[in-house]
Amino acid sequence: FGRMVMWVFGYGSLVWKAGFEYDEKVVGFIKGNRRVFDLACIDHRGTPEFPARICTLQAQEGAICWGTAYRVRGDPEKENLALEYLVRREPEYDIQAHVDFYQEADFETPFLTGVLVFTSTPNKISNKYFLGPAPLEEMAGQIAKVVGPCGNNCDYLFKLEKALYDIGHADGEVIELENEVRKILGGIDAFTLSKIFSTTPDKTSNKYFDLCPDPLEEMAGRFAKVAGPCGNKCDYFFSWKKPCMML
């Protein structure tokens, strides 16, 4: 006999992709846990030989973890379908816990109680999927290289960062890890980009600013023909394509 209303909290890929039928989605957080990339994924974003790093929860006093809660309302069959899907999708998570869920309007009184969350045992002996913590550079190197049947490990990280930003609660640790991965991949993080020196767009005060804005075709022609001691102008332009696409 199932409950007529079930709530599920997502803090990883569930934030941007539920994958099951739900009736309502709300933004909020749980207490006493932080999001960490300590869990292995060997069938979606990684392989048994080269496991991906995905999110799990780590108990920590005073910590909060933002995410989204999904309401599944209806008959027991609808609830069971959602649960069966989640169990198939999240085989790495060996714990199904129930937690209090809070919203920004009230940090003290739970908005919901008994919300289901999938997490994992933080023990390498009893949980074969638990990788444990690692230095930032090591985690970034692993995430940057690993690919599984469902895509790159780095895409999981990038989508999570964007999803948390979209719900208004960017995670500083996720951003730090993402920036480190982008460095390995040849990208540029937003902070570094903001530090790139700009030029004064005035011919009087800046002797190097000697070109006025030109039509697209004229600029393209100049890029295609000009070369200097260090190479072609077009090569410089092309070298920025990948980093800019990754921002």
Q: How confident is the model at residue 221 (pLDDT cuts 50, 70, 90)?
A: confident
173 is catalytic: no
pLDDT beyond 60 at 125: yes
Q: How confident is the model at residue 195 (pLDDT cuts 50, 70, 90)?
A: very low
Q: Across the chain, what does the average pLDDT equal?
A: 84
Task: Give me the pLDDT at residue 231, please.
Answer: 57
pTM of the model: 0.73
Tokens of 105: 């309007």
Domains with residue ranges and CATH for the chain: 5-186 (3.10.490.10), 197-246 (no CATH)
24, 49, 61, 90: the catalytic one is: 90
pLDDT beyond 80 at 89: yes
